[in-house]
Structure 1
Amino acid sequence: MEGTRSLRARRYPASLQIPEEFPDSSGRQNSMRLPKRWATHRCWLLLGVVVVLLFLAMICLPWIQTETSKPLAWYVTHAHKKQVHEHVHRVLKSQCRPGSARNRLLARLPASSHMTQPFLWKDVPLADDLFLYPPPFGFRSLRGNVEDLLKLLPDSDSSPLPEKTDKCRRCVVMGNGGILKGLELGPLINRFDTIIRLNSGPLGEFSVDVGNRTSIRMSYPEGTPRRWIDTDPDTVFVAVVYKSVDISWISAMMKKLTVPLWDWLFFWQKVPDQIPLEPHRFRLLNPEIIRETALDLLKYPPPRKRLLGNDQNVPTIGMSALNLASVLCDEVSLAGFSYNLSRQGAPLHYYDHLRITAMLKETTHNVDRETELLQKLVREGAVTDLTQGLHCSFCPS
């Protein structure tokens, strides 16, 4: 960004003496100070205009689509597809291990970790720890906003509840990775007890690869589908708060109202103006899920105030969903998780035209750190990788 040069008013050098015989010398000095002050004011005005323009650019530019004009051609061999299907069949047919995923994660967490409440409820008091950090790690300075929102949410004994029962439950967290494309895992995905989908990952024409059941759609405002696509009558929407204005959006969606015009300015991408679900199908994610994922599992530094940029200490929604799944279910599987940049022609998502190399522009999340942790969790047996994008047990070396 090009800077601006301040204008310097003409003036006499300090060493130059103005003859006393000029009776209006003091008037001349005052008149010479005016251009200097006016130049300073113009600089501040110009700087203000530049800041406003940059702010508008930050808001508007992300709304522009960056997809390529032609669909990506991607082919999956019959042999590879068969091996993936056999792998998923083995997972579904094996003996379910109660509490296995959470116990494996707890081994990586500090002894003080006690996060057992994945959602916030109207009838459950808010712990003081929730207000230690700003969003997405907590609700610092937002107690009133959160309490008002909770009045719209259901009680803890409401139905349906995608939480643990006496039955050993298997969860699958559906990432949106292009590795799902062409695998035709839809019917097998539908057989899992709880299916967690992320952001706007679509179904419809893609159901053959990703299934059509949805237990949980987990998203923040900018990631939520603008056209609702989940037809499963048991779907629950889990709202994730990344910034204070997200609370206002969640409230508007539950009340089926329009988001206030001022709030629209703080979304970095267009957000839906409605979610066709009744209030009892909304959940507010406990920010402790994100805090625990970031600070305890990924070992990121605590959040700190910064004027510009970020510390890449915010986990992806997929990583937070994995942690959520470990609380809701006994066994956790992943599908559609893969960030192998060496496959430069591979699609980034199963539903659009972006290439995997688009991840090189990622600045918010530390993808390398997350991939390393996910690979360790798969090798240790804490989670299962259905699509073999993290650790492939049968792929050629």
Structure 2
Amino acid sequence: MGLLVFMRNLLLALCLFLVLGFLYYSAWKLHLLRWEDSNSVVLSFDSVGHTVGSGRRERKTVAIVLPLSIPSHLAADPGKDRAQKEPTETMAAPGPAIPKYDKLGFLLNLDSKLPPELASKYANFSEGVCKPGYASALMTVIFPKFLKPAPMFLDDSFRKWARIRDFVPPFGIKGQDNLIKAILSATKDYRLTPALDSLSCRRCIIVGNGGVLANKSLGLKIDDYDVVVRLNSAPVKGFEKDVGGKTTLRITYPEGAIQKMEQYEKDSLFVLAGFKWQDFKWLKYIVYKEKVSASDGFWKSVATRVPREPREIRILNPYFIQEAAFSFIGLPFNNGLMGRGSWTHNIQREKEFLRKLVKARVITDLTSGI
């Protein structure tokens, strides 16, 4: 049972990485997204390794790094009498080593078959059935750096995570301790819903807000997933036939949050992805129902109220933003800073990253948008 819980949590973390990669990619626009925008994405991901996409898609891949050691019978032995060696013996110079992984650590041959142990373990699962631990196991085959991640949401142990403690937003929490502590003291809940936590296998889909979904009639298929993630102000009402009506998590930042109360779904978790220090200050205003000041450093108008109780609000762990940007996509680190508040992007790398995940069958692009 403990193993199932571990693999389930690892799978959810993988799904979250996909969300963050997509959210990071879309952040460079920093404009209000509309349904007519054809550059957004819909991703679906589950333990079976399926993903649904609309326009663009994010995916993660994993490779296994094998330690290289010199066999003992080939190691030099200083104690041997060199005279015993054949004086005429010559050794052919070894050719250049053929790399198995790219610079970021991804397996180069993504078309390779599953390792025997995985093929055997999942051989009896029919197509479309949720396979516990399958996607995360495949990730560890194609990308060895994919390890057991941090908690999905910040909890009261957030100060213990060195990876995020020393970096400013969006890659860490430096300087935000008091604000985060105040928020968490009110929200008190740091997990998914009890119903989702009870599932041993969960299928996840990431739905963007681009026009590529128009007239695709994927609504029912999207709603069939256990976890439906939507980003920023991605619309639902009036578009249920194409985008579905179910929302489990809505991940956003102040400028991207829905401003009209009637457009919010009734039962989703509201998740903040903090890209700057003002975002945490804004969330504190929202949680404590305080007045939001328009002069707090936002580049556009922001929501002044979110129709959620504190227990329905979460803070996304910056660990995932950090990993998605630097480890998976390979964006320049720059000491964890983004120059003058602007976003650094390498569009080609991001597209390659998504295509790797599709090719490795870690996720599936439902709309073939990549």
* TM > 0.5: yes
Q: Is the 8 A contact 2:33 2:234 kept in 1?
A: no
Q: Is the 8 A contact 2:232 2:250 kept in 1?
A: yes
Distance, in Å, in 2 between the alignment partners of 1:388 and 1:311 is 27
Q: Of residues 304, 310, 323 in structure 2, which corresponds to 1:279?
A: 310
Q: Is the 8 A contact 1:253 1:274 kept in 2?
A: yes
5+ long unaligned stretches in structure 1 = 1-61, 74-86, 313-364, 391-397
Q: Is the 8 A contact 1:248 1:259 kept in 2?
A: no
Q: Is the 8 A contact 2:203 2:225 kept in 1?
A: yes
5+ long unaligned stretches in structure 2 = 1-28, 39-51, 54-125
Q: Report the secondary structure of 1:151's partner residue.
A: helix
Q: Of residues 140, 145, 163 in structure 1, which corresponds to 2:179?
A: 145
Query: Higher RCO, 1 or 2 (CA under 8 Å, sep at least 6)?
Result: 2
Structure 2 partner of 1:290: 321
Structure 1 partner of 2:129: 95
1:366 paired with 2:350, answer no
Q: Is the 8 A contact 2:37 2:209 kept in 1?
A: no
Shift of 1:110: 5.5
Structure 1 partner of 2:365: 385
* 1:127-158 CA-partner distances (Å, limit 9, x unpaired): 2332121110001222222222221222346x
Change (3 A) 1:272 1:310: closer
Shift of 1:112: 8.0
Distance, in Å, in 1 between the alignment partners of 2:37 and 2:132 is 41
Q: Of residues 197, 202, 213 in structure 1, which corresponds to 2:230?
A: 197
Distance, in Å, in 2 between the alignment partners of 1:310 and 1:63 is 10
Q: Of residues 333, 338, 342 in structure 2, which corresponds to 1:302?
A: 333
Percent of paired sites with the same residue: 31
Q: Is the 8 A contact 1:97 1:168 kept in 2?
A: yes
Distance, in Å, in 2 between the alignment partners of 1:247 and 1:72 is 28
* 1:300-351 CA-partner distances (Å, limit 9, x unpaired): 2224456647461xxxxxxxxxxxxxxxxxxxxxxxxxxxxxxxxxxxxxxx
1:257 paired with 2:317, answer no
Q: Report the secondary structure of 1:119's partner residue.
A: coil
Structure 2 partner of 1:188: 221
Structure 2 partner of 1:246: 279
Q: Of residues 180, 203, 206 in structure 1, which corresponds to 2:239?
A: 206
Alignment of 1:269-348 (within 5 A): 269-304=300-335, 305=337, 308=340, 310=342, 312=344
Q: Is the 8 A contact 1:122 1:153 kept in 2?
A: no
Q: Is the 8 A contact 1:253 1:273 kept in 2?
A: yes
Q: Is the 8 A contact 1:121 1:153 kept in 2?
A: no
Distance, in Å, in 2 between the alignment partners of 1:176 and 1:166 is 28
Distance, in Å, in 2 between the alignment partners of 1:150 and 1:143 is 11
Shift of 1:116: 3.6
* 1:344-369 CA-partner distances (Å, limit 9, x unpaired): xxxxxxxxxxxxxxxxxxxxx43332
Amino acid at match of 1:217: R
1:219 paired with 2:252, answer yes
Shift of 1:102: 2.7
Shift of 1:246: 0.3
Return the TM-score normalized by structure 1: 0.57
Q: Report the secondary structure of 1:205's partner residue.
A: coil
Structure 2 partner of 1:115: 149
Q: Is the 8 A contact 1:162 1:194 kept in 2?
A: no
Amino acid at match of 1:268: W
1:130 paired with 2:110, answer no
Alignment of 1:72-87 (within 5 A): none
- Greater Cα radius of gyration, structure 1 or 2: 1
Shift of 1:292: 0.9
Q: For this pair of structures, how many residues does the alignment match?
A: 257
Q: Is the 8 A contact 1:216 1:238 kept in 2?
A: yes
Change (3 A) 1:276 1:166: closer
CA RMSD of aligned residues (A): 3.4
Larger mean CA deviation between 230-239 and 195-204 belongs to: 230-239
Q: Of residues 268, 278, 293 in structure 1, which corresponds to 2:299?
A: 268
